[in-house]
Amino acid sequence: MGIDQSPPVDISEADAAKELMRLAKAIAKHDRLYHSKDDPEISDQEYDALVRRNAALEAQFPHLVREDSPSKKVGHAVGSSPLGKVTHEVRMMSLDNGFSDEEIHEWVARVRRFLSLPEDEPVPITAEDKIDGLSCSLRYEAGKLVRAATRGDGQVGEDVTANVAHIADIPQEIGGDHVPDIFEVRGEVYMSKQDFAALNAAQEEAGAKLFANPRNAAAGSLRQKDASVTAKRPLRFWAYGWGTASEVPANTQHDVMRQIEAWGFPVSPFLKVTDTVEEMLAHYAEIGRQRPDLPYEIDGVVYKVDRLDWQQRLGFVAKAPRWALAHKFPAEQAETTLEAIDIQVGRTGKLTPVGRLAPVMVGGVTVTNVTLHNRDEIERLGVRPGDRVVVQRAGDVIPQVVRNLTPEVEREPYNFPDTCPECGSEAVAEEGEVDVRCTGGLICPAQRTERLKHFVSRKALDIDGLGEKTIDQFFALGWLESPADIFRLRGRKDAILALEGWQDKSVDNLLASVESKREPDAARLLFGLGIRHVGEVTARDLLKNFQTLPALRKAAEQACAGDDEAFAEITSIDGVGGAVVEALGDFFHEAHNVEVWEDLLSLVSPPPYVVETLDSPVAGKTVVFTGKLATMSRDEAKAQAERLGAKAAGSVSAKTDLLVAGPGAGSKLKKAQELGIKVIDEAGWADIVEEAG
Ligand code: ZN
């Protein structure tokens, strides 16, 4: 439709940071709802809109990408699945996304830089269409299918071996030449557009629930406890890669895929090797042109570096490989009426406006809600309830308002509330800030319950059975004044039992699940407290360094009291800066927070954080690279260090164990020598890498 796929977002950096924070929270919440209930609160389209908005902001402000960013997470956790769990030996990654041609050029340039390739060296890259289904890993041992698993969160998936037995595209046995002893074929389970339409028609006739799109239908059909339900659903499969392999049958992505095809698996009809960015973009355009006529839904094109030795060197960052990229198709738009604007109050007190729409089909999916982000966004769009608006969903399923169609006439603008709809406190935007926040703090029930919900969420303490409704209910009864009160619930067993809807078993389950967290992971506990700038990854990095929460608190307080050494120790942790120190300082400065902290630590005993060590000479050590490296880029060197279990830091401090110095090393080398830190050259580093295998 000729819409720019990644328009720059018109937003200040401060606003972007805040919005990213809010998006991370919202997406985590909906992940939880989606996977713990069958009936999520928002549609897939709305969910994807949040993810897309997050991606757009991160693309524009790469330095604001949060440690707890949803873009660093893969798929869903399988905690509440009725299916068995399967741990993937080789993690199932997700893909980074690109939207504009420039991003594709930039990605290829990045690959070149990482590999230190000369400008004229061709970089062959495979391109194929990205089918919209459910990722699945199929393990073959001695040619026989022994296990099938969904991606899950990338590390642990669900066992769907019995379910895939009914998918005709998946061979139960593979034979012929070159079948390794162990080989995991990875691909997508999907449903064709036609089969999806027929299934929904049958569901409707039977008075059963309709599926929102083919992907949901495929996922819902595969993830069935009763495999005979799966058997009745017309599922298909195609392969796009592989996982664990005792032997890889070729040296390039393309040739391995052709071998997988020869074993009897369907692969993308568009799969081909391209040699230039121009060829990649031409293939993308061609696939886009054919997209409406394809019998299945696709949402983009996937590029992969063809040479497997290069893939190996490029490795991974966070959740995604550096050697692959998904080039998404552009947004689709439609007109509808904005019927109402609702205000939601979050954990930090932020008032977020949500637009309720007259339902409208956008690219084949019904959209009913849009996020309006904040007060300024409403002002910028000039929208009021009743206005005609253009909504857009990008990627495959999305909603945001891009334009107001209502003619500009003299009228009262929308009145953004100046009081909190939940507690009635004044709601204000601080000087220079765009977000309007409830000033009620601890008296605001919305903020308090949102904090409790964060505390028990999957990425924090992960307390099963303490859902949003239960928290709201217990909170209203005055049983949950602070997170610590969760650990006092066992004293209220009879009172809980007396509530409607609770039975012995459900109360026992809840209390058992609380009791199982008496010795919680310290990093999760820290993350659960919701301290600004302390996301999931930062919390873990802090604990890796300080081992215990009291040690971290001591260092943070010293650092904020002007102790340079304590400040340096915290900020020497890769990815942790002054903002984290300040946020920790602010947190411990509040008497109330200290009270909650001490109360909590009197009820739970997180064991000291143990750093996982690999069997490598630099495992657990802190390595700094400086000077010019001849055989690899700085990024590749850091990635190698991380692969060996070492921490790659940016600056030399007393915590540094090893300095790898190339020619031209300056102040870092001098400092390392002063501190008596071991210094080696690039060849010495290569020996370590080789030794570790
Ligand atoms: Zn409030």
Q: What is the pLDDT of residues 146-196, one digit of tens each?
A: 999 999 888 888 999 999 988 999 999 998 777 899 999 999 999 998 898
- Where b means 16+ CB within 10 Å and e means fewer, 335-367 reads ebbbeebebbbbbbbbbbbbbebeebebbebeb
3-class DSSP assignment, residue 371 = strand
CB 127 within 8 A of CB 114: no
Q: How do residues 5-61 score in pLDDT, each as one tens digit?
A: 344 567 777 788 888 888 887 787 777 665 544 445 666 556 667 777 887 788 777
Tell me the two tokens of residue 623: 């390595």
CB 374 within 8 A of CB 19: yes
Tell me the two tokens of residue 429: 């935007």
CB 144 within 8 A of CB 192: no
Question: What pLDDT is stored for residue 574 in this prediction?
Answer: 75
Say which DSSP state 172 is in.
Answer: S
* Mean of pLDDT values over 211-220: 82
CA of 485 to the centre of ligand 1 (A): 21
* Mean of pLDDT values over 467-485: 92
Strands 332-345 and 388-393: antiparallel
Which of the residues are catalytic? 130
Examine the pLDDT at 577 and tell me if it is beyond 80: yes
**Ramachandran angles phi, psi of 650, nearest 5°:** -90, -20
In the block, which residue shows the tokens 């050259």? 681
Q: Which amino acid is at 490?
A: R
Q: How do residues 87-139 score in pLDDT, each as one tens digit?
A: 898 889 889 888 889 999 999 999 999 999 988 899 999 999 999 889 999 99
Bin 472: left if φ > 0, else alpha if -120 < ψ < 50, else beta.
Answer: alpha
Examine the pLDDT at 292 and tell me if it is beyond 80: no
CA of 345 to the centre of ligand 1 (A): 7
Query: What is this structure's pTM?
Result: 0.52
CB 214 within 8 A of CB 132: yes
Mean pLDDT of the chain: 86
Alpha carbon distance 250, 42 (integer Å): 44
**Ramachandran angles phi, psi of 67, nearest 5°:** -65, -35
3-class DSSP assignment, residue 648 = strand
3-class DSSP assignment, residue 625 = strand
Question: What pLDDT is stored for residue 70 in this prediction?
Answer: 75
CA of 177 to the centre of ligand 1 (A): 67
CA of 437 to the centre of ligand 1 (A): 8
CA of 20 to the centre of ligand 1 (A): 21
CA of 427 to the centre of ligand 1 (A): 8
CA-closest candidate to residue 640, choices 656, 619, 654, 671? 619
